[in-house]
Copies of this chain bind each other. A is one copy, B any other.
Amino acid sequence: MYHYAQPHPAVTTDVVLFTIRAGRLELLLVRRRHEPFAGCWALPGGFLDIDEDLDTCAARELEEETGVRGVYLEQLYTFGAPERDPRERVIAVAYYGLAPADTIEVQAGSDAGAAAWFARDALPGLAFDHARIVELAHRRLAAKLSYSTIALQLLPREFTLSRVQAVYEVILGRPLDKRNFRRQLLALGCLQETDEHQRDGNHRPARLYRVRAPQTVAFFK
């Protein structure tokens, strides 16, 4: 038992992890095993350890509940409406993250009954205020496309330019002009052309590219 002269809220982190799968924007949810909202889908997340950094907590809870690790995470916003959790006062520090679908594998953890990807525009009802958090995360991600290289975090080590364009289109929800897109993307200078090509289907093979500095997100403008 822990005692305080003043009441303390609990602090959690919750993660909106986006990916691109099957040409759609999807995000990772876990099915809650316990009350409240038992059986309901929710963002992966959980209580902050008392000696743990917030960023660390977000990464740890994500891994514990979904098996996913090593992805790009960024703090989004802190939600603290008094009635957002019926058990006790909970302050949720929300994060959002990006991961390439094909390099990560999802497995449900102990606290979560299951972990699965859902299309952004076909989400089940979510626990707590998690629908609001997803909404804000999507808006923030879309806004950051225009002044950072954050979207490259959704790509595997090697990829075609068409694939990059598909990432942008699905996040922004509108088609982009191929020639303009390629010119502007390459002008950023953060892609490295390789000598390899990708053959798939009845058409001309596409050149493969790499990100020069895959671990860092650059800002411009």
Query: Which of A3-11, A24-32, A103-111, A152-160 is found at the contact surface with chain B?
Result: A3-11
21 pairs of residues in contact across A and B, judged by CB atoms under 8 Å: A1-B3, A2-B5, A2-B6, A2-B7, A4-B4, A4-B8, A6-B10, A6-B47, A6-B50, A7-B50, A8-B10, A8-B11, A8-B50, A9-B50, A50-B89, A51-B89, A53-B81, A53-B82, A54-B91, A75-B77, A78-B78
Main secondary structure of the interface of A (DSSP, over half): loop
* Contact between B91 and A91, CB atoms less than 8 A apart: yes
A50 to B54 Cα, complex, angstroms: 21
Interface residues of A in 71-102 (CB under 8 A from B): 75, 77-78, 80-82, 89, 91, 93
A16 at the interface (CB under 8 A from B): no
* Contact between A82 and B52, CB atoms less than 8 A apart: yes
**Copies of this protein in the complex:** 2
**What 7 pairs between A and B have smallest CB-CB spacing?**
A8-B8, A54-B80, A7-B50, A78-B78, A2-B7, A2-B4, A51-B82
